Amino acid sequence: MMFALITLGVFIIMEGVSWFTHKYVMHGFGWFLHEDHHQPKYDGFEKNDLFFAIFAVPSMALFYFGSNTEYTFLLFIGLGIMCYGIAYFTIHDVLIHQRFKWFKNTNNPYLKGLRKAHKIHHKNMGKKDSQCFGMLFVPFKYFKKPKLN
């Protein structure tokens, strides 16, 4: 039970880590890697994809040390990071950007809200003016249905 809570807790914390990293690293000193992701048309691999590898390193290291020492809890911290990475990939690359055509016609209100929030993020193509840096938890306003006149 404790290991499941560690994994879930790390997964939730990773949203904050992701938000911070997206806002201050990707839209800051790491813009040279992230910029191609904000181009109107991109295809195939982007420099931005290197962030997946960057985030995978701590997860793999935690798997290794959690498996080969008495500090087993480290494995479950690594598992939480990995689970967040899988969720991020599924939401960001599959659902939002349609790099893989797996969820083309979803009507789920939560997924539609995430998609709308990310489209707002990309509306400003520049480094400084973007908003909504979260991935799984975004402001409630993105889930509201537009009012009909």
Share of the chain above pLDDT 70, in %: 79
* The pLDDT of residue 119: 74
Reading the block at residue 93, the tokens are: 């690359």
Domain range for 93? 2-104
**Residue at 115 is within a domain:** no
Which phi and psi (to 5°) does residue 37 adopt? -70, -25
**Residue at 126 is within a domain:** no
**Residue at 98 is within a domain:** yes
* The pLDDT of residue 88: 85
Q: Which of 10, 92, 104 is nearest to 51 (CA)?
A: 92
**Residue at 139 is within a domain:** no
Q: pTM higher than 0.85 for the full model?
A: no
* The pLDDT of residue 126: 56
**Residue at 34 is within a domain:** yes
Domain tally, the chain: 1
**Residue at 127 is within a domain:** no
User: Where residue 118 falls among pLDDT bands split at 50, 70, 90?
Assistant: confident
